């Protein structure tokens, strides 16, 4: 009798433990979706809050400054007390100039790196190069900025004697170096997604490895490569510290990379350091410039998504 009672007690204890485990598992299954939903809502509300803040402050700015002057004027001198000028064109040209130079540097090197990693590199070499690219991507941008100012600019001045100390060429090159890992990594992922059967079929027809890379893999991964390049442009447009340190703070409507320029992000940094009092027109101008920057990056991201959908290969 005692043995039966002990067996019943052990069975009841096991059953109780199973019941508690099921209750705990059920609680976790119910709480995880709620937690994930809350996190998603927070991210959406944060984005909405940023957009609303930009809109409200930008509207305040345009109540003081004519929007046509902001868009069409070719001079940006907000700190002139007598006759301030708020034409954003010099900031836009400076931003685009740096972005174009960066892409001229980053796209060929990043694409060549991606082709090598995807088609030529052995697993051992890939394990060495990929961490190096990750380290390159993890370097703080302020370090890149001082590298551009103290090393790249003096080096370029030996080649281009007319190059000013603050210029667009040096930060453009360094921004390009900074976004190489992004373009290389995303492009390599797109190329790796191309089925091996396409490569083997081309090789079986007598194609060389280079021909397979350029005429089979590259066209098949075109959507991912173009999307990576567009995202790289967005990253270059939004770069702050490199252009602030090495580009200068002189708004200049020029496409000459040897001259001093100021980008949209550099202007925001300049005003944010305390050069304008709260509630002044100059203060609200950083929101107008920020809205212009937001629109640029939004357009770039929309283009990247459209390209990915438009040219996606189905396998």
Q: For 192-221, give one letter per residue: b (16+ CB within 10 A) or e.
A: eebeeeebeebeeeebeeeebbeebbbebb
Average pLDDT, integer, range 271-288: 81
Task: Report the 10 Å Cβ neighbour count for 255.
Answer: 13
pLDDT digits 0-9 by tens, 189-245:
888 888 888 887 888 878 788 888 888 888 888 888 888 888 888 888 888 889 989
- The span from the CA of 93 to the CA of 249, in Å, is 13
Are 87 and 73 in contact by the 8 Å Cβ rule? The answer is yes
pLDDT of 38 above 70? yes
Q: Identify the top-confidence range among 25-29, 78-82, 109-113, 119-123.
A: 109-113
Instruction: Give me 169's structure tokens.
Output: 């060429």
Confidence of residue 275 (pLDDT cuts 50, 70, 90): low
Domains of the chain: 93-262 (1.10.3720.10)
Q: Which helix (H) or strand (E) holds 104?
A: helix 89-115
Average pLDDT, integer, range 103-109: 92
In this prediction, residue 14 carries a pLDDT of 67
Indicate the DSSP class of residue 161. T
Q: Identify the top-confidence range among 141-145, 251-255, 268-272.
A: 141-145
Average pLDDT, integer, range 36-40: 87
pLDDT of 20 above 90? no
- The DSSP annotation for 63-94 comes to TTS-HHHHHH---EETT-SSS-EE--HHHHHH
pLDDT digits 0-9 by tens, 255-274:
888 888 888 988 888 888 76
- The span from the CA of 257 to the CA of 253, in Å, is 11
């Amino acid at each position: 009798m005692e043995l039966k009672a002990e067996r019943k007690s052990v069975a009841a204890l096991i059953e109780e433990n199973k019941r508690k485990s099921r209750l705990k598992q059920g609680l976790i299954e119910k709480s995880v979706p709620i937690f994930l939903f809350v996190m998603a809502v927070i991210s959406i509300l944060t984005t909405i809050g940023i957009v609303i803040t930009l809109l409200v402050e930008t509207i305040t700015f345009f109540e003081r400054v004519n929007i046509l002057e902001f868009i069409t004027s070719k001079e940006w001198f907000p700190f002139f007390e007598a006759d301030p000028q708020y034409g954003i064109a010099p900031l836009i040209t400076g931003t685009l100039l740096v972005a174009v130079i960066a892409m001229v540097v980053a796209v060929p090197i990043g694409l060549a790196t991606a082709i090598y990693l995807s088609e030529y590199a052995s697993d051992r070499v890939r394990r060495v190069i990929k961490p190096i690219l990750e380290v390159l991507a993890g370097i703080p941008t302020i370090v890149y900025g001082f590298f551009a100012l103290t090393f790249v600019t003096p080096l370029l001045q030996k080649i281009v004697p007319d190059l000013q100390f603050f210029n667009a060429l040096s930060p453009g090159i360094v921004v390009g170096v900074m976004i190489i890992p992004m373009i290389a990594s995303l492009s390599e992922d797109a190329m790796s997604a191309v089925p091996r059967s396409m490569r083997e079929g081309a090789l079986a027809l007598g194609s060389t490895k280079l021909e397979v890379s350029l005429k089979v893999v590259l066209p098949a991964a075109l959507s991912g490569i173009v999307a990576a390049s567009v995202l790289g442009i967005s990253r270059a447009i939004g770069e702050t510290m490199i252009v602030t340190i090495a580009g200068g703070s002189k708004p200049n409507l020029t496409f000459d990379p040897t001259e001093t320029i100021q980008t949209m992000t550099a202007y925001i940094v300049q005003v944010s350091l305390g050069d304008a009092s709260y509630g002044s027109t100059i203060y609200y101008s950083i929101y107008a410039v920020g809205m212009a920057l937001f629109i640029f990056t939004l357009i770039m991201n929309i283009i990247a998504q459209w390209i990915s959908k438009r040219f996606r290969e189905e396998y």
